[in-house]
Amino acid sequence: MAANDLRSRRYDAVRAWSAFVEHGDGAEPLVRPEILSSWTRSEAAVSPDVTEAPLADESETASIWRGSPLQVAVESVEAELRRTAEDGDLVVAVTDPQTRILWTYGGRVMRRKAETVNFVPGGRWDDQSVGTNALDLATRLDAPAMVFSAEHYASIVHNWVCWAAPVHDPVTGAELGVLDLSTTWDRTHPIGLATARVMARLIESAVPRSSAAGAPDDTGDPGLVMTLLGTVETRLDGHRLLLNRRQSEILALLAMHPEGLSLEQLHACVYGDQQVTFSTLKAEVSHLRAALGGQLSSRPYRLLMPVATDVDHVLGLLRRGRVAAAVEAYGGDLLPGTNSPALGELAEYVAVAVREALLTDPQPDAVVRYSERAPYDAEVLEVCLAHLAGRPHPAVPLLKGRLAVARR
């Protein structure tokens, strides 16, 4: 961004901030809605003249960080994080879900600036503690966020620009914290937010996989292991693959067709009647082949390694009559939101199979678990309660409560 444009942007931010501090809602047409909302929260909690972020207990912060999934992940990719900080003279920070900083690393100049405002481990950077900032916005919105210059509520960081992106558990989807990149406002660059996203994804790729009850153990097994129900994750020989949505869909289809699919068949399964060229599909397959180390043949397209999916696992349990175990392993809808017609049909088949098994054998604990995945399926709850009629069972009050919710 040109220096003149940056100065103009900074002037506009200062003008908006001054309007808010002096006149309250006078800033409404001048800033983004999320900034104005955060300013309003900040105004009620802190002074714009706050001099530093409050510090949490040092030993408590250290104990939270020590041995946590985030520590394991950050240490695995620390070299890349440090290089990014040094090359861009940035300070990199990782927080917990309460926006408390757990780890930082800074380039020479930014490290000193960060220390003066407690942008250090233990620093509390929620907007109730230190005013509007990107770490808080990314945490609240569960989305990447940028805060530039005087968009920060506290004047101590008006010379900063910050980009932050949430870090999620790759299996459960739970937010573990945020990754933040900060530097001086005059170093603002259009790729700042994209870089924060990439760094957050890098950390996610190194987060230890949480153990999902009932799911096949894939932490070290050779071959391809795909989680598709409720969340999407792919591992090859124990290592997580970073794939885009379409690549995951293509790989899922190939996993479901071990005999292989022709180009035409795969195109129909992925796109249906969408006007998408074969060349587009070939390009996606080419990326997949590279990610799989070449273990994807053509004519037909077929995977050349052992394959396991949670879909096969759940259906196998149902075939063996192990309904409770199947429900425990059922993470939710298959690739929710997919527009692949073949995967849409498979998603419906799996959902119906689980539901029908419960209607036939309404085991109370399994129905309770299922109702967490399908909270509006009143019929399964009704059948289970009818099955328990006149029989005492500790799950009955919970089932009745969830039935009332499902009927609303």
- Which pLDDT belongs to residue 119? 96
Residue 25 confidence (pLDDT): 62
pLDDT of residue 109: 83
Quote the CA–CA distance of 372 and 49 in Å, as a whole number: 46
Three-state DSSP class for residue 181: strand
CA distance 157 to 85: 18
Going by their DSSP bridges, the two strands 307-309 and 224-227 should be labelled as parallel
Query: How long a stretch of residues is the chain?
Result: 408
The 8 Å CB, 24+ separation contacts for 296-300 are: 296/254, 297/260, 299/262, 300/259, 300/260, 300/261, 300/262, 300/265
Q: What are the per-10-residue average pLDDT scores of the chain (408 residues)? A: 80 91 73 90 92 89 84 89 89 94 90 94 94 95 94 96 93 88 91 91 82 40 85 85 85 94 94 89 87 87 92 91 88 85 93 91 86 83 86 81 80
Q: How far, in Å, CA of 164 to CA of 101, rounded?
A: 13
Q: Where are the alpha helices (DSSP H) in 215-363?
A: 245-256, 263-271, 278-291, 310-319, 323-329, 341-360
Q: Identify the pLDDT of residue 74.
A: 92
Q: What CA–CA distance (Å, rounded) separates 31 from 15?
A: 10
Residues in a beta bridge with 240: 235
